[in-house]
Each structure stands twice: as structure tokens, then as C-alpha cells.
Amino acid sequence: MTLQVRWWRWLQVLGLWALLCPIAPARTVLDLDAARQPAQLSDWGDYLIDNSPQHPPEDIAQLPETSWNPTLLKGIYPLKPGQALWIRIVVPPAPDQERWYLEIPYPALDHASLYTLDLAGQWSEQATGDLVANRAWPRPHRHPVLPLAVNAEVPTRYLLRIENAQGFSAPLRFVNESHLLASEQTVSVALGVYFGMALLAGLAGLVGALALRDLAYLYFGATSLLMGLTQIAWTGVGGLQLWPALPFWADRAPTVLACWTFVAMLLLDAAVVSVSQRSRYLHAFVWVLAAAGAALAVALLLTPSAMRFALALPFLITVPLVIAGLNVWAWRRGDRFGLWMTLAGLPFALALGLAVMRYAGWVPASTITEYGILMSLGLVKPAVFAVLLARSQARRENQLRIRGLDRLDPATGLINAQTFSERMAHMIARARRLRMQCAVMLIDVVNAEQLGRDFGSRSGEDLPVLVAGRLLETARDIDSVARLGSLRFGMLVEGPLTPQDAAALAPRVIARCLMPYRNKPAEWVVKVRVARALVPMDGDDTTKLLGELDSLLAASLGDGKRAILTPRDLLRNRPG
């Protein structure tokens, strides 16, 4: 075997070993550079999980190196209730003219202590977290921000102890004073816009509830205000601005307010899709679930932090599922607002899922997980308010239709006999005042029985609707068409009318009714008989004139030749 072949085989073996056993990447180097911020801790530090949080930093600092592991890149640590997460950080020499901070973007953090080893070998503590009053933090902020004592000549050693009942899943980063102020200004503008929208939506809901007397608007206003308060708690604004001296409430506010918000959301959705009118049992289930949420919110005030998330999570998952089910159920039963509410709630459902996963420690903290709900609600609230406005408009139209049922024929939508008589009286008075002629016509369908014999009884079920459509096509916008009986219709034709116009009215109606109908055989023809009178020439008494026209139609039942009748025919047929 030649030397060249042996070297080639050795290269192949080395290449295979390199593929199977890759070299571990080197740990990152922490560099506090003002030009590149924020500086992530990544795997520069070391961490360990202490089952007894009472150990002082002196004992932790003396543990052997084998007890420590490199900090995790994603920042998701297996921290459990009753344990403490210790992170060891050594900050290299950095210019001390800059003020640097260790930022923990986790507003719901229970407790964190940063220990700094000074030149005398003593550990000094800075405490922060929800269990510490915000005004007592080293630097009051929405989330923990701890000042660093950097040295330009020697490295500085730190120990960070974190206690959190819901685990810990937030990246640690280093920022200086200017970067912290700039980023907070940007976030403050966004939060101010959102909280302003929440307050405006709440006021709009309360005004709508008073003006329209609709409970859905009241629930919308309550939901908007509770959402704003919940986000104030979750983003840390409440602990910084509203309750800086109440660590008890600051620790419990996010979950308690979230439960109340979900109760309001459930009642809002049930009101929008009219669950109470559709199902008595489903409406009772909604109220039972809402009462359970209210009881849960009270119970969360009394439970320790370790149990709080486990108690609230089932309710926070159940309510969105129930809301989605109610919307789909209502939509399948003809409520178009159910589909709109389902589509409107999709952004919030996705953002809520990410927030719950972040709070449970399944995904690391990020801009999406922290502010995703704020961004989603910027879309959801206008969409839900638009649904409420459309619902109010539909209800207003329904109420107008209901109030008009005593003046309209429900089958054809034409005015009824009472309204016809009132309009006829007004038309006669107007004709006398303006000295013009108007026309009144009574129209009877005369071949309904024949159509039933020739084409079956079901073929004439829509006969009144078809005839009403043809009469409306014949009439002008200022004219009136009414249904006066099962197969009798009336028409008021406004003037002024010339004798020629009046003579052409009845033939036009008859010809229009004789035209073929859609989806009907060519032989399916409607024949009508028309009694016509001119007012005030043929009479100015509404009741008497209608009685004469009715007598004309009744007297002509046996006469199949004449289709147009006038009061002169009645005079001609009288004896003497």
C-alpha cells in the first residue's frame, strides 16, 4: 500500500470522526458595548437550581464548579415552586462612565435578588419583584431593572437569585441608561395609545347601553375596561403607577383581573349571539360558568402563588373554547353575527395562547409574547364594536317591521285594508283641494280555482306574491298598492290624470298580469277583473265608493266577458 493511499484513508477516518463528533461551540463573551444593545447574557453565565432558597450567597459562591451549568440561550429554566434559580455572572472590565443595568423583562416575576461582590469580599443585595413594593425597588420600573456596579479595571462578580412559582422563562440582558430610557419611551407611547383606546371603548359601551338599552353594550364597556386593567397589571404599569406600595395585590392582580375579564367576555359574546332567546339551558350554563369565574377570581386572592396559575389555567382555556362554540352554534342556527364574532376573536385567541405558554414557561419571553395581546386587541375591539353596531341596526329594522305589522300584509309586504282606506281618504281630500282627478282600483284574481284544477293545488300557493309583484311593477313610486283580501288587491293612482290616462290604467294592469311568470308553465296565466273609479268625480266618500266598487265586482262574478268595470256600469244596471 502506497503512502498516498494510507494518508487518504486517514483523512477519510478523520472526516468521519468530525461529522459524528462535532466540536462544541465556544461560549459567548459578554461585551458591554454602548453601540450594541441590548447585550444578551446567552451562555456567558452559569446557573444552578437550589432546592432550598434560604442559602446565603456566601454558601452558593463556594460550591464546586461541577455544580454549575452554562446559562441557557433561550432562557427557559426548569424552576419549580420552592426552588431558587441562581445565576453566576462575571462582568468583564467596562467603562465606568456608563450606568449599566441588568434587565429582566418579566413583569410577573415573584422575587429576584442581585448580589454584588465588592472589593472587601462582602455581598450586597438589591431586591425586586412583585413580592417587593415597587417603590422599594433599586430602580422603580415596569419590570425588574437592577443597577450594575461595573469596574473599568477588574471584573465584577454577581449572583442573581430568582424565585418564581410559575417557573422562569425570560432572557437576561444588559442595557445602559440611554437605551433604557429610549426603549421605555417607545413602549410608553404604545401603551398610552392602547389604554386610551380601552378607556374610549369602555365609555362608548356605557353610553351605548344607556342610549340603546342594550346589555351587550354594557358588557362591551365592562370588557374593555377590564381588559385595560388586566394589561396594566400584566405589563407592570399597575405596579409602577397605580399600586406601587401594594405587593400583595401586585402579585395577584394579573390572574385575578384576567378571570374577571374572561367573565365579561363570556357574557358579552352570549349577549351578541342572543343565547338567552335561543336556548334556556345554554343560557343557564353560561351564567353558571360566569359565576364559577367570579368565585375563582375571589379564590385567587387567597391562594398562594404556586397554586394560582394551576387554578386559573383551566378557566382561561375553557372560556375561549366555550365562546367559540357559542359563536359556531349560533351561526349554524342562522345568526350571522356568530360567524363575525368568531372571526373577530381569532387574533386574540392566538395572542392569548402565546401569553399562556410564555407564562407557563413553555416559550421564552419576547416582544410577541409580552405585547401580542395588546396588538391583537387593537384589531379585536373595533371589530367587535362594528358587530355591535350592525346588530343594533338589524334590531332597529326588526322593531320597525314589527311595529308595521298592523299596517302591512305579512305575506306580500303590501299595505293592508285599514291603511288603504286611510290613504284613499287623504288622496280624495288632496284631489278636491288641488282640483284634479285621481283613480281608485279594486283588482280580483278570477281564475285561481282553474289554475288549481289544471296545475295542482300547490301551483297557486305563491299566487298572491306573484300578483303583488306585478302590481308593484305597474305602480309608480307615488302610488299605493294594497292587499284587501285573499285574492283581492287595491291600487291608488295619484293625479292629476287625464281621461286618456285613466282609461289606460286598468288595461295596463290586466296586460301585466297576463304576461308569463318565471318558473311557471306558459299556460299558467293569471286573469284579473278590475273595478275603477275616478275621485272626486265618481264620489268623495271613501266607504261609499269602496262599497260601490265591491258591488261591481260581486255583480260581475257570472260575467266572464267584461274585465274592466266602472261606477257607470252600476248605474246602468239599476232598475228604472
In the numeric block, the cell 469596574 is attached to: 151
Alpha-carbon 17 to chain mean position? 58
Beta carbons of 234 and 255 less than 8 angstroms apart: no
In the numeric block, the cell 432558597 is attached to: 53
User: What does the pLDDT read at residue 249?
Assistant: 93
146 — pLDDT class (breaks 50, 70, 90):
very high
Is residue 368 pLDDT above 80, yes or no?
no
User: What does the pLDDT read at residue 97?
Assistant: 75
Q: Give the number of residues written for the chain.
A: 576
**Nearest C-alpha neighbor of 170 from the set 368, 373, 371, 366:** 366
**What mean pLDDT do residues 448-453 have?**
87
Q: What angle, 0 to 180 degrees and rounded to 10, lies between the N-to-C axes of helices 247-272 and 215-234?
A: 150
214 — pLDDT class (breaks 50, 70, 90):
confident
- Cα 54 from Cα 62, distance rounded (Å): 15
Percentage of residues in the chain having pLDDT higher than 90: 40
- Cα 217 from Cα 172, distance rounded (Å): 43
Q: Which CATH architecture has domain 39-178?
A: Sandwich (2.60)
Q: What angle, 0 to 180 degrees and rounded to 10, lies between the N-to-C axes of helices 367-403 and 247-272?
A: 40
pLDDT, tens only, 104-119: 988 889 999 999 988 7
In the chain, which segments carry CATH 3.30.70.270?
A: 417-573
**DSSP conformational letter for 22:** P
- Cα 74 from Cα 112, distance rounded (Å): 19
Is residue 299 pLDDT above 90, yes or no?
yes
User: What does the pLDDT read at residue 367?
Assistant: 65
**What mean pLDDT do residues 390-396 have?**
85
In the chain, which segments carry CATH 1.20.1070?
A: 187-404
pLDDT, tens only, 500-516: 998 999 999 999 999 99
DSSP per-residue letters across 186-240? HHHHHHHHHHHHHHHHHHHHHHHHHHH--HHHHHHHHHHHHHHHHHHHHTTHIII
Contacts of 376 (CB under 8 A, 6+ apart): 347, 348, 350, 351, 352
User: What does the pLDDT read at residue 507?
Assistant: 93
Is residue 302 pLDDT above 60, yes or no?
yes
Give the cell for residue 311: 387554578
User: What does the pLDDT read at residue 569?
Assistant: 62
**Nearest C-alpha neighbor of 343 from the set 327, 329, 322:** 327
- Cα 462 from Cα 420, distance rounded (Å): 22
pLDDT, tens only, 522-571: 889 999 999 999 999 988 899 999 999 998 888 877 666 788 888 876 55
Query: 187-404 domain in CATH 1.10.3470?
Result: no
- Measured in degrees and rounded to the nearest 5, phi and psi for residue 457 equal -65, -30
Q: What is the mean pLDDT of the chain?
A: 85
Beta carbons of 141 and 103 less than 8 angstroms apart: no
pLDDT, tens only, 46-72: 999 998 878 899 999 899 988 899 988
**Nearest C-alpha neighbor of 464 from the set 409, 532, 546:** 409
End-to-end CA distance of the chain: 146
Choosing among 3.30.390.50, 3.40.50.300, 3.30.70.270, 3.40.50.720, the CATH entry for 417-573 is: 3.30.70.270
Taking CB atoms within 8 Å and a gap of at least 24, the contacts of 444-448 are 444/487, 444/488, 444/489, 444/528, 444/529, 444/530, 444/553, 445/487, 445/488, 445/526, 445/527, 445/528, 446/527, 446/528, 446/529, 446/560, 447/525, 447/526, 447/527, 448/487
pLDDT, tens only, 71-96: 887 778 888 888 999 999 988 887 77
User: What does the pLDDT read at residue 55?
Assistant: 86
The structure's pTM equals 0.69
**What mean pLDDT do residues 416-435 have?**
93
What are the counts of helices (DSSP H) followed by strands (DSSP E) for the chain?
A: 17, 17
User: What does the pLDDT read at residue 395?
Assistant: 80
> Nearest 5 degrees, angle CA 527-CA 532-CA 536?
165
pLDDT, tens only, 532-545: 999 999 888 999 99
